[in-house]
Amino acid sequence: MQKGVTTLGRFLLEEQRKYSYASGEFTAILEQIAFVAKVIGRDVNKAGLINILGQTGSTNSHGEEQQKLDVYAHTKVIQALDHLGKVFAMASEEEKEIIHIPEKFPKGKYLVVFDPLDGSSNIDVNISIGTIFGIFKKKSESEAATIQDFLQPGKNLVASGYVIYGSSTMFVYTTGNGVNGFTLDPSIGEFLLSHPAMKMPEYGQIYSANESNSSSWKEEVVAYIDCLRNYPERKYTSRYIGSLVADFHRNLLKGGVFLYPEDKQYPQGKLRLLYEIIPLAFIAEQAGGSATDGENNIMDLVPKSLHERTPVVIGSTFEIALYQQFIKEGIRKRKKKFAKSGKSTLEKAIREPVI
């Protein structure tokens, strides 16, 4: 379909026609998420003028200061979905418990998990932020959703995606048939196809990590970053925005790797498995990349709670494979192996074919 003139609505319709099994049920959900993205984007773009900057003075279920825009976006997403009759229940970063559909509205068969506003620390300083979402089919037959409905692995997702409120507002999603990106044309208020069939390059030259945490990273992780910095074939550069969606989106387009490994402050990793990492892992995989917690493929992990945190390395296949080799082999073994063969320095050690 043609870039620049195909609206998201038309694209969803034609995708639905392509796949006979596509009930179109979650099409309505995706359309509503795109709608609320326009609302949030409109207010993000003038946040300095309306009273939605700064902190609410309350904390969320993680004890993190809630920004007004976090709560605003959270409320807007719920209002956009709760009356559709397509959603069974929701889970949000900003709400400790399951969000049930009010009695007055019909329930559907889909679960929506979401991070209403990702990169909150960047709101007040006008740096790109985002919204992340994932859609599962409910599992239980009960009247009301239970936690079991939400504790599903990424491979059960029927759709996932994100919105990035950056120099432009983009809606990027997958239903398991590739990844497509749409850019908002504010003059007509429509998301138009701008990035059809997005593919993550097999390798990149960018790594994204908060290196101020490196003093408490495992030595394999420190060695991995050191290896990228000294990679003989190409110069890696560091880019870290502090908004997962923005760092991920840049790496999706240009190739590279984002990592938030476990550290002293976050021994389980900082990022949330269910509504930040699993939805982005689906996008990464559908675009030809992958995501791991260091040992496992993220798409195989079954969350143990709504807000479970996980270490994450997500991006191009080369950088992920190299990371897994460092973790699997352990740095001591690597040095010993290469000391024996005369290639004593770590930099030379990485010249071994990794994939």
- The interface mask with Mn ion, positions 77-116, x = CB under 5 A, is ----------------x---------------------x-
Partner in contact with 285, chosen from ligand AHG, Mn ion, none, beta carbon below 5 to 8 Å by kind: none
Stretch of residues binding ligand AHG (CB under 6 A), selected from 149-157, 218-226, 242-250, 321-329: 242-250
Partner in contact with 270, chosen from Mn ion, ligand AHG, none, beta carbon below 5 to 8 Å by kind: ligand AHG
Question: Given the structure tokens 């840049």, which residue do they identify?
Answer: 250
Question: In whole angstroms, how close is the CB of 217 to ligand AHG at the nearest point?
Answer: 13
92 binds ligand AHG, rule: CB under 6 A = no
Candidates 12, 78, 172, 244; binder of ligand AHG (CB under 6 A) is 244
CA-based Rg of the chain, rounded to a whole angstrom? 21
Stretch of residues binding Mn ion (CB under 5 A), selected from 152-160, 211-219, 222-230, 274-282: 274-282
C-alpha span between 312 and 221 (Å, rounded): 12
Partner in contact with 242, chosen from Mn ion, ligand AHG, none, beta carbon below 5 to 8 Å by kind: ligand AHG
Stretch of residues binding ligand AHG (CB under 6 A), selected from 31-39, 119-127, 313-321, 346-354: 119-127
C-alpha span between 322 and 350 (Å, rounded): 9
Q: Where are the alpha helices (H) located in 188-344, listed in sequence order?
A: 219-229, 244-254, 278-286, 317-329, 331-340
Question: In whole angstroms, how close is the CB of 320 to Mn ion at the nearest point?
Answer: 21
242 binds ligand AHG, rule: CB under 6 A = yes
CA 272 → CA 280, 298, 302, distances in Å?
11, 12, 12
Candidates 25, 118, 285, 319; binder of Mn ion (CB under 5 A) is 118
- The interface mask with ligand AHG, positions 263-302, x = CB under 6 A, is -------x--------------------------------
Token pair, residue 94, equals 């900003």
Phi, psi of 114 (to 5 degrees): -155, 150
Token pair, residue 313, equals 């390395």
Question: In whole angstroms, how close is the CB of 115 to ligand AHG at the nearest point?
Answer: 5
247 binds Mn ion, rule: CB under 5 A = no
* Residue 59 C-beta-side C-alpha neighbours within 13 Å: 5
Partner in contact with 243, chosen from ligand AHG, Mn ion, none, beta carbon below 5 to 8 Å by kind: ligand AHG
Question: In whole angstroms, how close is the CB of 43 to ligand AHG at the nearest point?
Answer: 16
C-alpha span between 178 and 337 (Å, rounded): 40
Q: Please say which residue, 26 or 260, places its beta carbon nearer to ligand AHG.
A: 260
Token pair, residue 231, equals 């990679």
Q: Please say which residue, 117 or 179, places its beta carbon nearer to Mn ion.
A: 117
Partner in contact with 153, chosen from Mn ion, ligand AHG, none, beta carbon below 5 to 8 Å by kind: none
243 binds ligand AHG, rule: CB under 6 A = yes
CB-based contacts of 215, cutoff 8 Å, min separation 6: 264
131 binds ligand AHG, rule: CB under 6 A = no
β-bridge partners, 161: 133, 173
Token pair, residue 96, equals 């400790």
Phi, psi of 339 (to 5 degrees): -60, -40
298-326 exposure pattern, b = at least 16 Cβ within 10 A, e = fewer? bbebebeebbbbbbbbbbbbbbbebbbbb
Closest to 330 measured CA to CA, from 222, 248, 207, 240: 222
- List of residues contacting ligand AHG (CB under 6 A): 93, 115, 118-121, 210, 242-244, 270
